[in-house]
């Protein structure tokens, strides 16, 4: 056993093995997540292929500036997250706390903007099943865009909410105990998850906001 | 229509409640009483029966265990709480075993009603609506609450850490969580059954499931959705455990094939299940919010649902059968006392099946309206996915050559598996042939085909595995004679039930038919007759295995004189599996047929070998 | 038995070389066929009647595969039983040098199955190809499926429910759509099955070879009375069929009904032959290439016409403004079919719909089923 036996689960031999297992576990879990979004991406591809014009028009009505700002916000948050992992690994506690807090703030900012966007969509009568007017076949096709839009961004926002919760948890733990070069798996694993959310958005952004912009 | 149906619903309600109560009471009570009855149940380790000297390095460990007189995992507490909050993989496996057994018999009752109904062409036992609910529940329960968790979650959970020399899975708490998710999902589905049932068929094709069905689709879909996360959690756990927690010296190509197949299964679980989750979520949204991703009236495409569904459900078939192949690959070398023929090929074939298995989902849609070129591609891939399975069958057969074969119950199940799986696989070729599938699709031919694989293959393997590892799990031997009797009953009943269905399907009887033309009656009666034998066969092990918990002979650490790390520790194993981390120095299945014979001859006079009597 | 084999021979031409290659399988397959015929005589059929042009070809594949499967299954079982007996524990068999590898053997048992699989794939795919593409000159039967009945209409206007009369010896093409959930048109004796989808047309075809009465089943689970959604196909000698046609009270033909609808809906106001300013003329349109405003050129097939009525704004003809209103929800599926039939008849000079379609329609329509097709009125 190592210097910090309390931190090692009794099924593991040492911290290193535990760290490896946690990290691999998160990677495998992210594969699952990719396929969870994959079903939606496939649906999007099928319907965009079937209704190119409707998707173009509907995408034109999406809140382009919010989407773009959100992309920037999330990308920067990923930088903070990467720096957090680095600080955890090198044992710089204060910087770690700072960067984690920044990550959390940027994540929440994304969610806030997303909420604003949903509100604007609602005001513009673009929510299928609630107020999106469906008069003819073409509006049916646009409805499909909005359905997929809410599904995909909703699922993404749900993941980000969980991500924010995890970062908050890590923040509290880091404040209480701190992490060091030997024990930083929780930060790294949260980081992996955070970057994954970021990458999903990088794919969502062009699919949702760009078809109507050329 | 609705009044008598509610009537039947309540009968069903009572049946399930009684089933739950009886099953739970018998299971828990027997288990707890047994355990209390023998607080010092640690068996004395006998040296292996016909102790060939091939495990010298490991035997020291065994002796160390004997010296310590450890408490088994079963003695780690007798309260319900000590079971329900246990993170011990072995206890969680037992929890799973009780749950899936319960679900198996619920699904079995539904099957019984289906078969009884089909005795006459016009029915009369139940209403049409009830019949539709019965086959749906049979499908949903058997697929998601029995077949998929059966081998991975019960035997995989119990054996994976033991086989790789680990103290537990990598994430024991997630393992417990996955059982709770499973139970939670099961409750939703049971609620759907009690609340009026589901009538969509287990495939839940849109737009019937999303718009037209008036049954409890939401609750059933929610149950499957939640259970999906249980599967994913199990899958992640197994992959990480196999990668990071193998004992020193246990390289990939020294792993027992059961571990290989569990690993491949876990990969499929992790990669396929999320697609089902998102599909069910869309069905959910379609019913609740009225959006129409799969509804043609709203611009949706019902074929998209089928693509997404089969992208999960076809690989899911391999979730069910691969671990079964793993079990057979353990049992056959042990009872033939011979090294598995071409271990590496079998291991690679496992991954061949898992890999190509992801690319053949479109063969469920040859007549659904997919493009002809897509059909051509899916057809050729379906032919190719059969090849690795054929390789395995040939390898198992070749393993028997020059072996020293004994016919204990697990071996009977394994041999039955080879025969039935071969028939199931070969009929798959007809279904993969485009022109032939057009007429066979959605008929009883398909039903017979997948029951040969799933029941003839997977359930036979599961029961074989349960008997093989029963001494390890419970610390007791099962009664051999009853075991053989049940194995034979199941085999005969199974063949009688499903062989006539091939003919029915070829004649053109569509599946999910409540009424059928009278000329199909003779074969249907034959099938139902077989099913009654099959039913008896399935109930037998329930009784004698429970009986053995109290009255069975105490099991030695290695009753079959098998290789593999799980046999190096006590039966039942101590809480942390091994007293000292085992070190592995050789590959699996190091059996010597000639030595087995020599040992037999030397001990022939002193001890009559009951097990050598051929089973059939 | 022999009579049956004789009648099979001519339609089997394409499959002969492969069957012959199967060599020794032949005699066993013959044995199977004999057993089957014997059982049939005893009133215990083991296979459905072979009543269509492709049924014998499909059965040739099926029985060859069955024979092969039986050989493999028996060989495996025989070996298992033989080894189990010979090498049972305690027997005096020779167990020296037990093999755990044999590269040659393994290559053989991987290679041969792969080869067999490819042969069967090719054979079945070739047959499937013919089952997929209807021959020219087929009679078009329009099929509408709904919970839980089949509605069928002949080109001459006769409507039938859960029954279909067709002549022997002429190909019949089924153009099918569903009004609610997915159904499947299954005639075991003809070895055909095709799912029938809502909001989309699917087609299949057959040519009956033996007069008789055959089962029609719905093979895709469609709700409560799925198993009641059955019917009969009456295959009749051509003369009997003509008599049936003339005796059955035919409603106006599809095309005639379409013409009436065409006037009622005021289509002629814009599409009339004299007025081509607002909309293109429809005469002679069917089967011709149409240049679209987005630069594409499409063939005016059934699907294009169907879509253009329901979703006119999707594919606008070059040179015209997208002014046509959608008729989605305004007219039923049956009515769309009638309109399409009428427009098709305009392409054929005669005012009456010709049962024989122009061949190019078949070629253009065959590969379009997978593409997302039009939406349709939601049926309440």
- The span from the CA of B242 to the CA of B240, in Å, is 6
Nearest chain B residue to C192, by CA: B439
Whole-angstrom CA distances from A168 to A176, A187, A190, B208, C273 are: 12, 11, 10, 44, 73
The average pLDDT across B404-429 equals 94
Nearest residue of A to residue C375 by CA position?
Answer: A137
Q: How far is Cα A57 from Cα A59, in angstroms, rounded to an integer?
A: 5
Q: Is residue B80 part of a domain?
A: yes
- Residue C4 pLDDT: 39
CATH for the C254-351+365-379 domain, from 1.10.760.10, 3.10.580.10, 1.10.10.10, 3.90.550.10: 1.10.760.10
Give the nearest partner residue to B291 out of A38, A141, A147, using CB atoms.
A147
A contacts of C374 (beta carbons < 8 Å): 137
Is the domain of B465 the same as that of B362? yes
Q: What is the pLDDT of residue C357?
A: 36
For chain A, domains (ranges, CATH) are: 15-213 (1.20.120.80)
Q: What is the pLDDT along chain C (380 residues), one digit of tens a residue?
A: 333 333 333 333 333 444 444 445 556 666 776 677 677 666 677 788 899 999 999 999 999 999 999 999 999 999 999 999 999 988 888 888 888 888 899 999 999 999 999 999 999 999 999 888 889 889 999 999 998 899 999 988 888 999 999 999 999 999 999 999 999 999 999 999 999 999 888 999 999 999 999 999 999 999 999 999 999 999 999 999 999 988 877 666 777 788 888 877 878 777 876 666 677 878 778 777 888 877 777 878 777 888 888 778 777 887 787 778 777 777 877 788 888 888 877 765 433 333 333 333 333 333 333 233 333 332 32
Q: What is the pLDDT of residue C262?
A: 82
Q: Give the pLDDT of residue C232.
A: 95
Residue A197 neighbours by CB under 8 Å, 6+ apart? A74, A156, A159, A160, A163
Where is pLDDT greater, at B45 or C117? Answer: C117
* CA-to-CA separations, B392 to A207, B264, C82, in angstroms, rounded: 45, 15, 19
Collapsed DSSP state (helix, strand, coil) of residue C85:
helix
Q: What region does C56 belong to: left with phi over 0, alpha with psi -120 to 50, or beta?
A: alpha
- Residues of chain B with Cβ-Cβ distance to A47 below 8 Å are 299, 301
Which residue is closest to A53 within chain C, CA to CA?
Answer: C314
Same domain flag for B234 and B371: yes
pLDDT, residue B4, reads 38
Backbone phi, psi, residue B510, to 5°: -70, 155
Give CA angle at B319 (B313, B324), nearest 5°: 140
Q: Cα C271 to chain center, whole Å?
A: 34
Residue span of the structural domain in which B416 resides? 73-604
How far apart, in Å, are the Cα atoms of B380 and each of B261, B393, B450, B453, C234? 24, 21, 19, 20, 36
The 3-state secondary structure of C156-220 reads CCCEEECEEEEECCCEEEEEEEECCCCEEEEEHHHCEEEEECECCCEEEEEEECCCEEEEEEECC
Q: Does residue B592 sit within a domain? A: yes
Q: Which range has the worst mean pLDDT, B19-23, B242-246, B292-296, C45-49?
A: B19-23
Paired tokens of B135: 């086959």
pLDDT digit string, tens, across residues B255-272: 999 999 999 999 999 999
Q: How many CB pairs under 8 A join A and B?
A: 110
- In Å, how far is C202's CA from the nearest CA of chain A? 18
Per the prediction, chain A carries an average pLDDT of 89
| Chain A partners within 8 Å of C310 (Cβ) | 137
Please indicate whether, in this complex, the C-beta atoms of A138 and C313 are within 8 angstroms of each other: yes
Task: Mention every residue, 6+ apart, whose C-beta is less than 8 A from residue C237.
Answer: C167, C168, C211
Question: What pLDDT score does B67 carry?
Answer: 42
Same domain, B483 and B535: yes
Contact status, residue B76 vs residue B574, Cβ threshold 8 Å: no
Yes or no, beta carbons of B507 and C180 under 8 Å apart: no
Q: What is the pLDDT of residue C267?
A: 80
Q: Is residue B63 domain-resident?
A: no
Residue B23 pLDDT grade (very low, low, confident, very high; cuts 50, 70, 90): low
> Which residue is listed with tokens 């044999």?
C102
The reply to whether A180 touches chain B by the CB within 8 Å rule is no
Q: Sign of torsion, CA B195 B199 B202 B205?
A: negative
The shortest CB-CB distance from A43 to any of B274, B298, B304 is to: B304
Report whether pLDDT(B482) > 60: yes
Whole-number pLDDT of residue C172: 95
Residue B366 sits in the same domain as residue B307: yes
* Residues B575, B431 share a domain: yes
CB atoms within 10 A of CB B33: 13
User: Mean pLDDT over all residues of chain B?
Assistant: 86
Task: Say yes or no: B293 contacts chain A, CB-CB below 8 A.
Answer: yes
> Is the per-residue pLDDT at B36 higher than 50?
no
Could you say which of A51, A137, A141 has the minimum Cβ distance to residue C310? Answer: A137
What is the distance between the alpha carbons of residues B391 and B384, in angstroms, rounded to a whole number?
Answer: 12
pLDDT of residue B40: 33
Indicate the number of domains in chain B. Answer: 2
Instruction: Determine whether the interchain pair A137/C371 forms a contact, defined as Cβ–Cβ distance below 8 Å.
Output: no
Token pair of A167 as six digits: 């970062």
What are the extents of the domains in chain C? 2-85+105-131, 139-247, 254-351+365-379
The answer on B195 and B123 residing in a single domain is yes
- A182-196, B21-35, B68-82, C364-378: which is most confident: A182-196
Give the model's pLDDT for residue B2.
35
> Residue B603 — pLDDT band, cuts 50, 70, 90?
low
CATH fold, domain C139-247, is Immunoglobulin-like (2.60.40)
Distance from CA of B516 to the nearest CA of A (A): 38
Work out the minimum CA distance from A37 to partner chain C, whole angstroms. 22
Per residue in B441-477, pLDDT tens?
999 999 999 999 999 999 999 999 999 999 999 999 9
Within this chain, do residues B79 and B220 fall inside the same structural domain, yes or no?
yes
**Domain co-membership, B110 together with B201:** yes
User: Which of A131-145, B303-317, B599-613, C276-290 is predicted least confidently?
Assistant: B599-613
* Alpha-carbon distance values, B238 to B154, B269, B564, C53 (Å): 12, 10, 18, 53
Closest CA to C45 of A200, B208, B506: B506
Is B442 within 8 Å of C193 when comparing Cβ atoms? Answer: yes
Q: Alpha helix (H) ranges present in chain C? A: 2-8, 16-21, 25-41, 55-86, 103-132, 238-247, 254-264, 268-271, 302-310, 333-346, 359-366
- Best probe of the C interface among B432, B510, B516, by most C CBs < 10 A, is B510
The per-residue pLDDT for range B146-157, each reduced to its tens digit, is 999 999 999 999
Triad A62, A65, A69: Cα angle to 5°: 125
Shared-domain flag, residues B112 and B233: yes
CA distance A168 to B551: 55
Cα separation of B111 and C148, whole Å? 25
> What span, in angstroms and rounded, lies between the C-alpha atoms of A174 and A88?
9
> What's the rounded Cα separation, in Å, for the pair A106 and B147?
45
Q: Give B11's pLDDT tier (boundaries 50, 70, 90).
A: very low
Q: What are A72-95's pLDDT values in tens digits?
A: 999 999 999 999 999 998 888 889
CA distance C65 to C121: 11
Please indicate whether, in this complex, the C-beta atoms of C106 and B345 are within 8 angstroms of each other. Answer: yes
pLDDT of residue A8: 79
Chains that touch C (3 or more CB pairs under 8 A): A, B
Using a CB-CB cut-off of 8 Å, the residues of chain B touching A39 are: 274-275, 278-279, 282, 308
Interface touch C193/B441, C-beta < 8 Å: yes
When pLDDT is cut at 50, 70 and 90, the band that residue B604 belongs to is: low
With a cut of 70, list the residues of chain A below it in pLDDT.
1-6, 214
Name chain A contacts of C368, Cβ cutoff 8 Å.
Answer: none
Query: With helix as H, strand as E and coil as C, how does B331-346 read?
Result: HHHHHHCCCCCCHHHH
What pLDDT, on the 0 to 100 scale, is given for residue C29?
65
Residue B261's closest CA among B170, B140, B168, B389?
A: B389
Could you give the CA distance from residue B375 to residue B368 in angstroms, rounded to a whole number?
Answer: 10
- Minimal CA–CA distance to C23: which of C74, C80, C71? C71
Contact list, A140 vs chain C (CB under 8 Å): 375
- Determine the average pLDDT of the residues in B580-596: 87
* B397, pLDDT greater than 60: yes
Task: State the smallest CA–CA distance between residue C326 and chain A in angstroms.
Answer: 7
* Whether pLDDT at B568 is above 70: yes
* CATH number where B504 lies: 1.20.210.10
Integer CA distances (angstroms), B499 to B127, B317, B520, in order: 27, 21, 14
The pLDDT confidence band at residue B297, using thresholds 50, 70 and 90, is confident
| Chain B neighbors of A11, CB-CB under 8 A | 161, 166-170, 172, 245
Percent of chain B at pLDDT > 70 equals 86
């Amino acid at each position: 056993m190592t210097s910090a036996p309390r931190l090692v689960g009794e099924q593991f031999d040492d911290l290193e093995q535990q760290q490896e297992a946690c990290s691999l576990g998160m990677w495998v879990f992210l594969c699952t997540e990719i396929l969870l979004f994959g079903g939606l991406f496939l649906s999007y591809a099928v319907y965009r292929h079937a209704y190119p014009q409707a998707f173009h028009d509907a995408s034109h009505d999406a809140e382009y500036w919010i989407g773009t700002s959100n992309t920037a916000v999330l990308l920067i948050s990923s930088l903070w997250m990467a720096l957090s992992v680095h600080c955890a690994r090198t044992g710089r506690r204060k910087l770690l706390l700072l960067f984690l807090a920044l990550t959390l703030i940027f994540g929440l900012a994304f969610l806030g903007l997303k909420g604003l966007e949903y509100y604007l969509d609602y005001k513009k009568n673009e929510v299928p099943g609630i107020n999106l007017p469906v008069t003819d076949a073409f509006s049916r096709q646009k409805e499909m865009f909005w359905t997929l839009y809410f599904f995909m961004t909703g699922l993404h926002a749900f993941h980000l909410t969980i991500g924010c919760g995890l970062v908050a948890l890590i923040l509290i733990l880091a404040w209480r105990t701190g992490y060091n070069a030997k024990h930083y798996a929780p930060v790294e694993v949260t980081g992996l998850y955070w970057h994954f959310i970021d990458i999903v958005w990088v794919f969502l952004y062009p699919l949702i906001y760009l078809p109507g912009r050329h | 229509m609705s009044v008598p149906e509610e009537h039947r619903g309540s009968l069903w309600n009572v049946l399930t409640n009684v089933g739950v109560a009886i099953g739970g009471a018998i299971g828990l009570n027997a288990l707890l009483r047994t355990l209390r009855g023998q607080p010092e149940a640690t068996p004395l380790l006998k040296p292996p029966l016909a102790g060939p000297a091939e495990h010298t390095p490991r035997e020291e460990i065994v002796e160390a265990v004997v010296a310590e007189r450890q408490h088994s995992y079963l003695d780690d507490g007798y309260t319900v709480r000590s079971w329900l909050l246990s993170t011990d993989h072995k206890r969680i496996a037992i929890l799973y075993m009780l749950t899936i057994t319960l679900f198996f018999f619920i699904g079995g009752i539904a099957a019984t009603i289906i078969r009884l109904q089909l005795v006459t062409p016009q029915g009369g036992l139940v209403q049409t609506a009830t019949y539709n609910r019965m086959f749906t529940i049979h499908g949903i329960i058997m697929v998601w609450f029995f077949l998929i968790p059966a081998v991975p979650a019960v035997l995989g959970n119990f054996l994976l850490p033991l086989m790789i020399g680990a103290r537990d899975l990598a994430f024991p708490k997630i393992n417990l969580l996955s059982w709770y998710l499973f139970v939670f999902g099961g409750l939703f589905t049971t609620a759907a059954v009690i609340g009026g049932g589901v009538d969509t068929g287990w495939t839940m094709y849109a737009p019937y499931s999303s718009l037209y069905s008036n049954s409890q689709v939401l609750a059933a879909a929610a149950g499957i959705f939640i259970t999906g996360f249980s599967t994913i959690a199990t899958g992640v756990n197994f992959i990480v455990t196999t990668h990071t927690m193998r004992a020193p010296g246990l390289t990939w190509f020294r792993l027992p094939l059961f571990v290989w197949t569990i690993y491949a299964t876990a990969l499929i679980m992790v990669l396929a299940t999320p697609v089902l989750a998102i599909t069910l979520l869309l069905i959910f949204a379609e019913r609740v919010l009225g959006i129409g991703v799969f509804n043609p009236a709203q611009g949706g495409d019902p074929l998209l649902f089928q693509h997404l569904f089969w992208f999960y459900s076809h690989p899911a078939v391999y979730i069910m059968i691969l671990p079964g192949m793993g079990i057979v690959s353990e049992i056959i070398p042990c009872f033939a006392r011979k090294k598995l023929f071409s271990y590496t090929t079998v291991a690679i074939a496992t991954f061949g099946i898992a890999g190509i298995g992801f690319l053949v989902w479109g063969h469920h849609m040859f007549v659904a309206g997919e493009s002809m070129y897509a059909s051509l591609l899916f057809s050729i891939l379906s032919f190719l996915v059969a090849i690795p399975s054929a390789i395995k069958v040939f390898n198992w057969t070749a393993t028997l050559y020059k072996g020293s074969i004994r016919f204990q119950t697990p071996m009977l199940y394994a041999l039955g598996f080879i025969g039935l799986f071969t028939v199931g696989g070969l009929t798959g070729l007809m279904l993969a042939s485009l022109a032939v599938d057009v007429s066979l699709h959605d008929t009883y031919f398909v039903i017979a085909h997948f029951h040969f694989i799933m029941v003839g293959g997977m359930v036979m393997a599961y029961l074989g595995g349960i008997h093989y590892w029963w001494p390890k799990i419970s610390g007791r031997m099962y009664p051999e004679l009853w075991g053989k009797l049940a194995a034979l009953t199941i085999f005969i009943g199974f063949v009688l039930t499903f062989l006539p269905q091939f003919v029915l399907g070829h004649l053109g009887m569509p599946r999910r038919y409540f009424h059928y033309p009278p000329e199909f009656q003779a074969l249907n009666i034959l099938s139902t007759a077989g099913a009654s034998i099959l039913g008896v066969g399935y109930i037998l092990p329930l009784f004698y295995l429970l009986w053995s918990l109290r009255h069975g002979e105490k099991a030695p650490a290695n009753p079959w004189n098998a290789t593999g790390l799980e046999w190096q520790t006590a039966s039942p194993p101590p809480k942390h599996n091994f007293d000292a981390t085992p070190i592995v120095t050789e590959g699996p299945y190091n059996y010597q047929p000639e030595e087995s014979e020599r040992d037999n001859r030397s001990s022939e006079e002193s001890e009559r070998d009951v097990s050598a009597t051929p089973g059939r | 038995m022999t009579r049956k084999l004789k009648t099979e021979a001519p339609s089997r031409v394409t499959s002969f070389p492969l069957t012959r290659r199967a060599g020794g399988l032949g005699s066993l397959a013959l044995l199977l066929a004999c057993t089957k015929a014997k059982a049939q005589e005893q009133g215990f059929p083991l296979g459905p009647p072979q009543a269509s042009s492709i049924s014998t070809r499909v059965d040739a594949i099926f029985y060859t595969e069955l024979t092969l499967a039986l050989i493999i299954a028996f060989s495996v079982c025989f070996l298992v039983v033989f080894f189990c007996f010979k090498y049972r524990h305690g027997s005096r068999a020779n167990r020296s040098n037990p093999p755990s590898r044999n590269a040659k053997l393994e290559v053989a048992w991987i290679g041969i199955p792969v080869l067999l699989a490819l042969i069967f794939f090719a054979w079945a795919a070739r047959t499937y190809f013919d089952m997929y593409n209807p021959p020219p000159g087929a009679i078009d039967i329009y099929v509408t499926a709904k919970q839980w009945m089949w509605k069928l209409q002949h080109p001459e206007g006769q409507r039938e429910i859960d029954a279909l009369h067709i002549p022997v010896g002429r190909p019949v093409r089924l153009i099918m759509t569903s009004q609610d959930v997915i159904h499947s048109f299954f005639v075991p004796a003809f070895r055909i099955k095709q799912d029938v989808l809502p909001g989309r047309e699917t087609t299949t075809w057959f040519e009956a070879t033996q007069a008789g009465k055959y089962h029609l089943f719905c093979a895709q689970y469609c709700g409560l009375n799925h198993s009641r959604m059955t019917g009969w196909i009456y295959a009749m000698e051509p003369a009997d069929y003509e008599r049936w046609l003339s005796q059955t009270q035919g409603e106006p033909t599809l095309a005639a009904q379409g013409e009436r609808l065409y006037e009622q809906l005021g289509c002629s106001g814009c599409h009339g032959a004299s007025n081509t300013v607002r909309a293109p003329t429809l005469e002679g349109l069917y089967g011709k290439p149409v240049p679209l405003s987005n630069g594409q050129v499409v063939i005016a097939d059934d699907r294009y016409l169907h879509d253009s009525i329901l979703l006119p704004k999707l594919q606008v003809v070059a040179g015209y403004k997208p002014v046509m209103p959608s008729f989605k929800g305004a007219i039923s599926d049956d009515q769309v079919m009638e309109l399409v039939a009428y427009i098709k008849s305009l392409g054929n000079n005669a005012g009456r719909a010709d049962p024989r379609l122009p061949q190019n329609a078949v070629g253009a329509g065959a590969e379009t089923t997978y593409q997302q097709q039009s939406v349709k009125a939601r049926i309440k």
